[in-house]
Chain A
Amino acid sequence: MIRLENLTKVFETPNGPVVAADDVNMEVPEGEICILLGPSGCGKTTALKMINRLIPLTSGKIYIDGKDTSTLNDVELRRNIGYVIQQIGLFPNMTIEENICVVPKLLGWDTERAKKRAAELLDLVALDPKLFLKRYPKELSGGQQQRVGVIRALAADPPVMLMDEPFGAIDPINREVIQDEFLKMQSELKKTIMFVSHDIDEAVKMGDKIAIFRAGKIEQYDSPDVVLAHPANEFIADFVGADRTLKRLRLVTAKQVCDADAPAVSRHGRAKDAHAMIREHGTHVAVVLDADHHPVGYVTEDMVEGASGLVHEFARALPATVPARADLRAVVSEMFAHDTMWLACTDDSGRYVGVITQPAVTGALGETYRRAGKAA
């Protein structure tokens, strides 16, 4: 847990004092990622760097796991906080192994333990320890270097991590991959993380909470969905963008929206029964499944109207299916690509889960507005 209390930073400049952080109060619960988001110069990085005292604070208190950090000296404090920066900052004179072992060594771990840890961590980010431990940073690609940068910060297993635009310098394709890897790691490690970003898409993807800064103040501190659906003011609405509702598509998975009760019939079933089932549900369409429960086609109400025979004689092929764990953005994209109002969802082994429709997507996104409307 990280708690900031009345955190204030005033820089004295020749043109008078500049307030970089203005009475910031916030709390990041244990195991969550909090994104500090805002335009450049808004104070987000200053706030972050005050936590590990790379920037001394003017006033206020910082608590980590309930403990007032002002009782610790700089070096002690920093060794117990993972720190990742955009420029990565791997030491070029050290091998990857030596880089990862820096903090464990500072903490006085024995060499064997530190080395074992380095190998474990490389495995965690899918870099083969045999190949990489003895290499030097310049022999790695940018993406590989930043993976090492991240695991170096994790080396001594600190409860808290500070990340200053960690994926900002990585090309967009690799960035997505590293973000996904990092989220997967975080789902197991459950670190408490403060993460500076200026990219709303990254914030929505990575954050459990987002704190939006302007001129040293927190303008809004909420979950990504609330920030996007109910921006607290004009500034935030502008900052998150006019397409903010579309961005919320990423926050919901197909599984959460798909209708598991939608009619599904076996391809060897009777067309008459399929018709009755469609009528009963009022959906005009049923998904056709094979013996393994994989969706293989569909029939509409018209196609089986008054028909006799088996379902597969009438069925048409499905244009596409989507995995249930895909986010709505991917689902909608598939719908648009195939000019269809609905798609069948499948689980990881390709078995049928349910049907997702455009109205259901719209409904899911609109729900929060209807609730807010009722409350008002």
Chain B
Amino acid sequence: METITFIFSNLGVIGGLAVEHISIVAVAVGLAILTGVPIGVAITQSQRLADAVLYVASIIVTVPSIALFGLMIPVLSLIGQGIGWLPAVIAILLYSQLPIIRNTYTAITNVEPSLREAARGMGMTPLQRLWRVEIPIAVPVIMAGVRTAVVMNIGVAAIAAYIGAGGLGVLIARGISQTDPRQLIAGAVAVSILAIAADYALLALQKRLTPAGLKR
């Protein structure tokens, strides 16, 4: 009851933190799409390169976020950004690479060989094949990777409160340090709701971006 009262009397603060939270994840995943999709497409050209890139991306994901933040402090301190918004964005950008690259790579390599043969046989250049056939067919799977990245990193962004990046993690961190269950619960619930809402929103987007001919 106390918690609910807390939430309603602090809606403005929670809303502001949620916006911060969203901005970190949105900017980071947005940039991750711009890097991950081209990388995913590029590595379809070489099995060895693909193995290497996916291996590195997997290793990055195994580094705990708190350790990654720690690692970035001395490096980013050189430009005066050791803590705060920038390292949070960079961490999430890195974590997002695996789902986005892997899904792009899988989707493109799974395009039926007969479609590729038809496209080649009709005289499409490799770029035309990519834009007109392969990417449109791959979009649903690429979007699924984006969804995974977003949901996973809404959690990571909560931890970024410890390096002063702001966001809903601030409530959780304060709740712990001040042994205030109201803030703790409010923060945790808000992060969960945000993750679920983002997943649904992206699912809707995924459906919109899926070419009509590929919908069931």
Binding site for B on A (CB under 8 A): 52, 54, 74-80, 83, 85, 87-95, 102-103, 106, 136-138, 152-153, 162
Contact = CB atoms under 8 A, between A and B. Distances in A.
B130 interface: no
10 tightest A-B CB contacts, nearest first: A89-B118, A136-B213, A79-B123, A87-B114, A78-B123, A93-B211, A83-B121, A93-B136, A89-B114, A92-B213
Interface in B27-78: none
Q: How large is the interface on B (under 10, 10 to 19, 20 to 34, 35 or more residues)?
A: 20 to 34
Nearest to A79: B123
A77 B123 CA distance: 7
B117 interface: yes
A89 B124 CA distance: 14
Interface string B111-152: 010110111111111001000110011000000000000000
Interface of B is mostly: helix
A54 B128 contact: no
Contacts of A52: 121
B2 to A, nearest CB: 54
B1 interface: no
Interface of B: 112, 114-115, 117-125, 128, 132-133, 136-137, 211-214
A92 B118 contact: no
A90 B122 CA distance: 11
A95 B120 CA distance: 19
A95 B115 CA distance: 15
Most buried by B among A90, A91, A136, A152: A91
B213 A102 contact: no
**B121, B128, B212: residue with the most chain A Cβ atoms closer than 10 Å:** B121
A88 B114 contact: yes
Contact of B117 (A74, A85, A103, A138): A85
A152 B115 CA distance: 14
A153 B132 CA distance: 17
A91 B133 contact: yes
A9 B19 CA distance: 63
